[in-house]
Each structure stands twice: as structure tokens, then as C-alpha cells.
């Protein structure tokens, strides 16, 4: 898996960002030739190109990078992670669509079903309205679009409301992903405001998943250890994000778990702060 930042700059300042935005915003953009070299090294048969940030759409060569990746690898899967705000501008969204990238998906971060919740996370006025417009523009242009929400203390009780909103506003959405946050960067700095126990999150996610399933929208759970997930949802949570495996861990209890090989593991940063009492081996 090849994920690469186009820039470290961002037009949001998310309270739960895994980067320390105060620091990374001062880091120069990765050189264009370096990004092209990374693309050159990709094996399209068993890899993909994920472009992120920061906010990748702020990179002035954003379209050039995507165009280069497609010309270099005609069948490569391309994945863009974004806050969606630049796509609220129809000309920008159309320029993206006109690239005719083929096998591409745009994953947009949405934290709540209203401005109050979403902007409590992004800490950026009017970001909710722009993100919603961005998602609508992408879908209207036939771009495969995913919504992902990083769950935190601010929004976790509103997961069902969020998915009801999504089903109503974006019925043709490709997929919705729930993500347990890594506690680094801004998230660590603001841990008292954003950190919530995974076991407390589960009842709200369970209700939200039902809303999505009933509507026919695909659903995934990222970084949910299987022992905390209800049995009927475990298939949605299996597997590891391999690019981040060095930041994941098992605890002592996991040694006797029969689901260990299929588990997403636990963020090291979460275990270090919250301990391991939540995690119980699955033995039957």
C-alpha cells in the first residue's frame, strides 16, 4: 500500500487530527519529483496510490500528480483522502472529473450531521457547508465517493444521526467508514476533549451501521479490535491497515485470542493512555 502526502498544509484545523497542525503546517511540500518517484515505484498489480496530506487539494500540482499517476499506471487504483471543501467549487470538481481517472475513489471526512458538531471538530467556520457541497458535487459527477468519520468524544453519541443524514442526503454514496482515531498530534494535545473508550462507542456505531445496511450503503469499521465488536459486525472490522502496522499492537490478553490473525489490532497510542482492560480474548 502506497499512501503519500501531497502537502502538509490544511484549510481545517481538526481537534482530532493525527498531525500536530501547528508544526506540520510549516513543513515544505514534498518535492514533486519525489512524489513522481514514489508513483514510478508502485506495482499496480498489488498496490494502489493514496494521495493525502494535510489537505491534498491545496497542492497546486494536485491535478498534475493525479494525471501523472494515471499515465504511468493506466489500471492503478487511486485513492484521495480529503476534507472535501475544494470540491464544493464546481469548476474544481469538474476539472477533477475531466481527468477521467477511471479506477478512483475520493474519501471525504465528515464528523457530524450539522455544523455545530462538524465544526467543533474542524474548528473552521463554514467547513460543514463546503464539505456537504463537495460530496454532492462529486456524486453528481459520477465520482465514486466514500464518507469516513473519525470518532471522538465530540461526535460519538451522534453516529446514528449522522448516518440518517447521510442516507437522506447521499443515497448513492459508495461507502461509509467509521474510524477509531490514533491519539497523536492534535488528538494527543487535545486528548481530554476528544478521547473516548472504544467500548463506549460501540452501541452508537451498532445503531448507525444498521441505518446504513438498511439503505444498502457499504460499511466498514477501521481500527475496531474484534473482541469489542458484536459478533454480527465483526466481518466489517477484520483486517489491518498495513501502512500503519508499526503503530498498532496487541496486549497480553490477545495472546490467547482465536481471532488474533483477523484482528485490526489496537493503536499503541490508545493502549498507552487507556490501558488494556477493555480487551478480552475471544476463545469460543
* 196: in domain: yes
Query: Which cell goes with 88?
Result: 464544493
CA distance 231 to 180: 18
* 229: in domain: no
Judge if 191 and 254 occupy the same domain: no
Judge if 207 and 278 occupy the same domain: no
Judge if 263 and 184 occupy the same domain: no
Identify which of 17, 249, 3 has the alpha carbon closest to the alpha carbon of residue 124.
Answer: 17
Spell out the residues 6+ positions from residue 12 whose beta carbon is closer than 8 angstroms to its own.
55, 83, 85, 122, 123, 124, 127
* 236: in domain: no
Rounded to an integer, the average pLDDT of 20-49 is 94
pLDDT in tens, 157-204: 999 999 999 999 999 999 999 999 999 999 999 999 999 999 999 999
Judge if 67 and 94 occupy the same domain: yes
Judge if 272 and 184 occupy the same domain: no
**pLDDT tier for residue 242 given thresholds of 50, 70 and 90:** low
Residue 2 has what pLDDT?
86
Query: Which cell goes with 264?
Result: 485490526
DSSP letter at 205 equals H
Judge if 158 and 56 occupy the same domain: yes
* 262: in domain: yes
Q: Strand 248-249 relative to strand 266-267: parallel, antiparallel, unpaired?
A: antiparallel
- Name the CA dihedral angle for 261, 200, 180, 81, rounded to a multiple of 10 degrees: 130
Rounded to an integer, the average pLDDT of 81-93 is 98
Judge if 81 and 136 occupy the same domain: yes
Q: Print the domain residue range for 247.
A: 241-284
Spell out the residues 6+ positions from residue 217 whose beta carbon is closer than 8 angstroms to its own.
166, 167, 173, 174, 175, 176
Q: What b/e string do you get for 228-239 counting C-beta neighbours within 10 Å, with b at 16 or more?
A: bbeeebbebbbe
* 227: in domain: no
Judge if 28 and 93 occupy the same domain: yes
What is the count of structural domains for the chain? 2
CB atoms within 10 A of CB 261: 8
Residue 240 has what pLDDT?
80
Judge if 80 and 205 occupy the same domain: yes
* 235: in domain: no
Query: Which cell goes with 199?
Result: 467500548
Q: What is the CATH number of the domain that holds 212?
A: 3.20.20.70
Judge if 200 and 279 occupy the same domain: no
Q: Strand 248-249 relative to strand 218-222: parallel, antiparallel, unpaired?
A: unpaired
DSSP letter at 13 equals -
* 234: in domain: no
pLDDT in tens, 195-238: 999 999 999 999 999 999 999 999 999 999 999 999 999 999 99
Identify which of 171, 242, 174, 232 has the alpha carbon closest to the alpha carbon of residue 205.
Answer: 232
Judge if 164 and 252 occupy the same domain: no
* 48: in domain: yes
Judge if 272 and 200 occupy the same domain: no
CB atoms within 10 A of CB 80: 27
pLDDT at 243 over 70: no
Residue 245 has what pLDDT?
84
Amino acid at each position: 500500500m502506497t499512501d503519500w502526502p501531497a502537502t502538509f498544509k490544511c484549510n481545517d484545523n481538526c481537534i482530532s487530527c493525527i498531525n500536530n497542525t501547528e508544526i506540520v503546517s510549516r513543513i515544505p511540500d514534498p518535492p514533486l519529483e519525489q512524489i513522481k518517484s514514489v508513483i514510478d515505484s508502485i506495482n499496480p498489480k498489488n498496490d494502489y496510490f493514496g494521495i493525502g496530506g494535510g489537505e491534498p487539494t491545496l497542492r497546486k500540482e494536485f491535478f498534475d500528480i493525479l494525471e501523472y499517476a494515471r499515465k504511468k499506471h493506466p489500471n492503478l487504483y487511486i485513492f484521495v483522502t480529503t476534507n472535501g471543501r475544494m470540491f464544493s467549487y464546481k469548476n474544481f470538481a469538474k476539472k477533477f472529473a475531466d481527468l477521467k481517472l477511471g479506477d478512483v475513489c475520493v474519501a471525504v471526512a465528515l464528523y457530524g450531521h450539522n455544523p455545530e458538531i462538524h465544526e467543533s471538530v474542524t474548528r473552521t467556520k463554514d467547513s460543514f457547508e463546503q464539505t456537504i457541497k463537495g460530496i454532492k458535487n462529486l456524486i453528481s459527477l459520477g465520482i465514486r465517493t466514500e464518507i469516513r468519520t473519525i470518532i471522538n468524544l465530540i461526535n460519538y453519541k451522534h453516529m446514528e444521526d449522522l448516518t440518517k443524514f447521510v442516507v437522506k442526503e447521499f443515497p448513492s454514496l459508495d461507502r461509509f467508514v467509521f474510524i477509531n482515531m490514533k491519539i497523536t498530534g492534535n488528538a494527543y494535545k487535545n486528548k481530554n476533549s476528544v478521547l473516548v473508550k472504544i467500548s463506549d462507542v460501540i452501541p452508537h456505531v451498532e445503531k448507525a451501521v444498521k441505518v446504513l445496511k438498511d439503505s444498502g450503503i457499504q460499511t466498514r469499521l477501521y481500527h475496531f479490535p474484534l473482541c469489542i465488536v458484536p459478533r454480527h459486525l465483526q466481518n466489517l472490522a477484520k483486517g489491518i491497515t498495513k501502512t500503519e502496522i508499526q503503530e498498532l499492537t496487541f496486549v497480553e490478553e490477545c495472546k490467547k485470542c482465536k481471532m488474533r490473525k483477523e484482528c485490526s489490532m489496537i493503536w499503541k497510542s490508545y493502549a498507552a493512555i487507556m490501558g488494556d482492560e477493555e480487551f478480552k480474548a475471544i476463545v469460543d
